[in-house]
Structure 1
């Protein structure tokens, strides 16, 4: 009998995040993500809930309204400035810039657009304002070891993950 996903089961899966309206893939995880069900917050609670009772080989789609997670999109967090006012190290789309206000609060902004004269940064979460589908494929389900339960996932050093998570804009 196949093992089913439940608390203290070690699960490996791959997933992609798809924009529900356009069908575009926003994030693609090519290397399996391993976690211990019920002992890790590696996945969104709505996704974790939908995985319960699933087996290796199952594929599921979980719709997520990102406004529920990240709030409504705030256009005041989108700023465009002349490119000459921006240091050269920030002049690439996708670059993360951490800024601090006069209260010491920080927020991450991402460079989202560059043209010959201007550069635009956006302080909204990249998924803000989107309806997405988490499309998951369960690869492995087994009993987790005590060490994995404590760690919330695999305890070996694992592979070099450089380049296995691609964010597609």
Structure 2
């Protein structure tokens, strides 16, 4: 069976920065499993995996525009320092915050003074061309429940 529409795909990967060769992430024996066609993984990777079969290996280059996008200058924002009380601020510090709706957002401190903290809300890999070394471990048909829920379920189904 090949990677295609409405399939559940498991794959091992090593993710590298194309420019530097730095290893950014790896599955390390824990395959990533996703349902195709619902945006669970970056679009440039999913589209380039189409037609792959179980056991097949491939090196896939994904430009920034098809990965995490280009950095958006509007996502670099100044926030009153009072929101960061009790935090030992430093440039490069990754932080998380919760929106009033309960969504968790990630950010990185890029600058601060006594009144404001400048944070970058862009994805850390925005603007980076990526290289994935992948091996497809398994491909199967998605179940009706997986299609309905819009994501792959583990062994024994899924419990909401």
- Do they fold alike, i.e. is TM over 0.5? yes
Q: TM-score, normalised by structure 2?
A: 0.66
Q: Distance in 2 between matches of 1:12 and 1:97?
A: 31
Residue-by-residue CA offset, 1:35-56 (whole Å, 9 max, x unaligned): 2223x31112221121111111
Residue-by-residue CA offset, 1:118-169 (whole Å, 9 max, x unaligned): x8743332112221113322111123322233233115578xxxxxxxxxxx
Matched, 1:133 2:131: yes
1:87 to 85, 88, 103: 85
State how 1:15-34 maps to structure 2 within 5 Å.
Answer: 15-30=13-28, 31-34=30-33
Residue of structure 1 equivalent to 2:56:
58
Residue of structure 1 equivalent to 2:44:
46
* Structure 1: stretches of 5+ with no match in the other structure: 101-106, 159-169
Query: Is the CA contact (8 Å cut-off) linking 1:96 and 1:111 kept in structure 2?
Result: no
* Structure 2: stretches of 5+ with no match in the other structure: none
Matched, 1:150 2:148: yes
Q: Distance in 1 between matches of 2:128 and 2:18?
A: 8
Query: Is the CA contact (8 Å cut-off) linking 2:44 and 2:63 kept in structure 1?
Result: no
Q: 1:62 to 1:112 in 2, by over 3 A?
A: farther
State how 1:1-20 maps to structure 2 within 5 Å.
Answer: 3-20=1-18
Q: Distance in 1 between matches of 2:148 and 2:88?
A: 39
Q: TM-score, normalised by structure 1?
A: 0.63
What is the CA-CA distance between 1:19 and the residue it aligns to? 0.5
Q: Distance in 1 between matches of 2:138 and 2:63?
A: 27
Residue of structure 2 equivalent to 1:166:
none
Query: Is the CA contact (8 Å cut-off) linking 2:94 and 2:106 kept in structure 1?
Result: no
Over the residues paired in the alignment, what is the CA RMSD in angstroms?
Answer: 3.8
